Amino acid sequence: MTKPSQRIAILLSALVLSTGLLSTAAMAADDAVAQGKQLAFDRKKGNCLGCHAIEGGELPGNIGPPLIAMKARFPDKKKLYDQIWDATARNPMTAMPPFGKHGALSDKQVELITEYIYTL
């Protein structure tokens, strides 16, 4: 005979498991956004806050524009990816480092950061 609290725990984990199965895709997307955010905020990785204000980020720089309304500014998500991968393609004089082109971030990392930035 299980105790009521154990029974609730089992029930809850079953519930969590089934929800998970139903929305694996949604969870993966959330996960990509979370990983992207971590990379974006990491000073040794994206360090986006070095130059851009981002909601929830402390002491941002202001060399680049605040990262807001990204879907309106980049209707095509691929263009945002390209901008992070190599901003010099559009403007050779830009102060934005070509993160992908110079290998500061892997293509996968640029992809994850793009997923996060696109939610802003």
Q: Which residues bind another protein (CB under 8 A)?
A: 49-51, 59-63, 88, 93, 95, 97-98, 102-104
Nearer to another protein, 39 or 49 (CB): 49
Query: Contact, 56 vs 120, CB < 8 A?
Result: no
Shortest distance (Å) from residue 50 CB to another protein:
5
Q: How far apart are CA 73 and CA 65, in angstroms?
A: 11
CB of 105 to another protein, least distance (A): 10
Q: Which contacts of 94-99 are long-range, i.e. CB under 8 A and separated by 24 or more positions?
A: 95/51, 95/63, 95/64, 96/51, 96/64, 99/46
- Closest approach, Cβ 61 to another protein, in A, equals 5
Q: Looking at beta carbons only, is 3 or 44 nearer to another protein?
A: 44
Closer of 20 and 50 to another protein (Cβ)? 50
CB atoms within 10 A of CB 95: 9
